[in-house]
Amino acid sequence: MSNINLIDSFQEFKDFKNIDRPTMMSVLEEVFRSMIRKKYGNDENCDVIVNTDNGDLEIWRTRKVMEDGFSEDDDLEIELAEAKTLDPSLEVGDDYIEQVTLESFGRRAILAARQTLVSKILELEKDEIFKKYKDRVGEIVTGEVYQVWKKETLVLDDEGNELLLPKSEQIPADYFKKGDTVKAVVDKVEMLNSNPKIIISRTAPEFLQRLFEMEVPEIFDGLITIKKIVREPGERAKVAVESYDDRIDPVGACVGMKGSRIHGIVRELKNENIDVINYTNNLQLYIQRALSPAKITSIKLDDEKKTAAVYLKPDQVSLAIGRGGHNIKLAGKLTGYEIDVYREADETDEDVDIEEFSDEIESWIIDEFKRIGLDTAKSVLALTVNELVKRTDLEEETVKDVLSILQAEFE
């Protein structure tokens, strides 16, 4: 039997990824049954046999042999005289079984069926991809960069499925070119105009968590639990960990001997600074650990307002705040408290509150210094012009003017 283009495409259909054999058979059979219904008006008396391995198709039609003049439905019944011309051995009440060839449907019907087949298979494929990745949200995937655009990067997984890595989900230091291998976490999966849209991310906290699970066996085995992760992608991250086994040091296990375990994670995150701290229910101690590497003198908590006033030695203030304010910001997110840093004055240190200069320095400039924890004249003078410009929103000239006013106070 000639396959007339329809069966020629079986090979490509059966190789479609993510579609199992029973589903494929069901779709193919339904397409052919639709053709039968259009031709005969009924498919109840037809058997469709599809072999997706070699593309063989068989359609068998059964009609009841009736006495001449008593046939009411030509699609289900055949008169004895006609049946005898086809098979002389047939009698009234027998079943006449005939094979229906594809050619009998006509070329136009066959081409239309092929188009329907293609669209149904593609639709199934999209549904299967959507289901597959919907179940993988939060998991790490590895793919190859196929195309780089201004706002997003197209990545193909090992089956050729398209994954989108938006610019907003990339680490600022990320730079990709075609052919690069990319590791990311499945962030979001949605259907857009019947097409699955899979968004992956390298900035989500889940990405860092999965990297820890891959590098630290104790986390994967459940001996160490990650309580919370906060990140400023590409800059700094803080990871609170807890061990249910007193014999295991959770921080030491995560860092590894000479940093062996955490180095791979840091490299993957483009040298993101990762602080691993011991989780505790003691809030004061938790905040103290969260502000590491700064050493805190004392803490005053306001549980109602969820604020913490932290007092430090002058040389610890800048460490607590961190470059760009990342350290104090992440410590606040990790603990759930808004942290205010205060410089603890040394009794032997003659210093002046920066508010004392309000007649010479505008209030909004003073507020800008206080915002980054510099509330005395000497705390401002301890930093260079470049550092002050980088940490505040002030112009270089403004910073120099302020420094000259403050220096005059101690001369």
* Position 194 confidence tier, pLDDT thresholds 50, 70, 90: confident
Asked if 137 and 188 count as a contact pair (C-beta separation under 8 A), the reply is yes
Between the two ends of the chain, the Cα-to-Cα distance in Å is: 106
Contact 176, 145 (CB under 8 A): yes
pLDDT in tens, 7-17: 455 555 555 55
Distance CA 360, CA 398 (A): 12
**pLDDT tens track for 177-187:** 999 999 999 99
Instruction: Check if the beta carbon of residue 212 is closer than 8 Å to that of residue 239.
Output: yes
More confident residue, 167 or 358: 167
Residue 373 has pLDDT above 60, yes or no: yes
CA–CA separation, 128 and 141 (whole Å):
17
Amino acid 378: pLDDT: 85
pTM value is 0.66
What would the pLDDT profile of 110-124 be if each residue is shown by its tens digit? 788 778 877 887 888
Could you tell me the two tokens for 372? 């980054």
- Residue in this structure with the two tokens 């103290």, named with its chain if needed: 288
Q: Angle 396-410/363-371 helices, nearest 10 degrees? A: 90
Instruction: Count Cβ atoms within 10 A of the Cβ of residue 377 and give its class: 0-12 exposed, 13-18 middle, 19 or more buried.
Output: buried
| The pLDDT value given to residue 268 | 93
pLDDT confidence tier of residue 61, bands split at 50, 70 and 90: confident
Q: What is the mean pLDDT of residues 285-303?
A: 91
Q: Read off the pLDDT of residues 94-105 as tens digits, 9 standing for 90 and up.
A: 888 888 887 778
Q: What is the mean pLDDT of the chain?
A: 86
> What stretch of H or E contains 132?
helix 107-134
Fold exhibited by the domain 7-132 = N Utilization Substance Protein A; Chain:P; domain 4 (3.30.1480)
Angle at 82 between CA 76 and CA 87, to 5 degrees: 95
When pLDDT is cut at 50, 70 and 90, the band that residue 348 belongs to is very low
Q: What is the pLDDT of residues 29-45, one digit of tens each?
A: 888 888 888 888 888 88
**CATH superfamily assigned to domain 136-201:** Nucleic acid-binding proteins (2.40.50.140)
pLDDT of residue 83: 84
Angle between helices 283-290 and 326-335 (to 10 degrees): 150
**Beta strands 296-302 and 224-232, pairing class:** unpaired
Q: How confident is the model at residue 169 (pLDDT cuts 50, 70, 90)?
A: very high
pLDDT of 230: 96
Domain residue ranges of the chain, discontinuous segments joined by +: 7-132, 136-201, 354-410
- Does residue 4 surpass a pLDDT of 50? no
C-alpha gyration radius of the chain: 37
Q: Phi-psi region for residue 46, left (φ > 0), alpha (ψ -120 to 50) or beta?
A: beta
Could you tell me which residue, 55 or 282, shows the higher pLDDT? 282
Length of the chain: 411
- Residues paired with 276 in a beta bridge: 239
Pairing of strands 273-278, 162-166: unpaired
**Digit-coded pLDDT (tens) for 236-275:** 999 999 998 888 999 999 999 988 999 999 999 999 999 9
State both tokens at 309. Answer: 């006033």
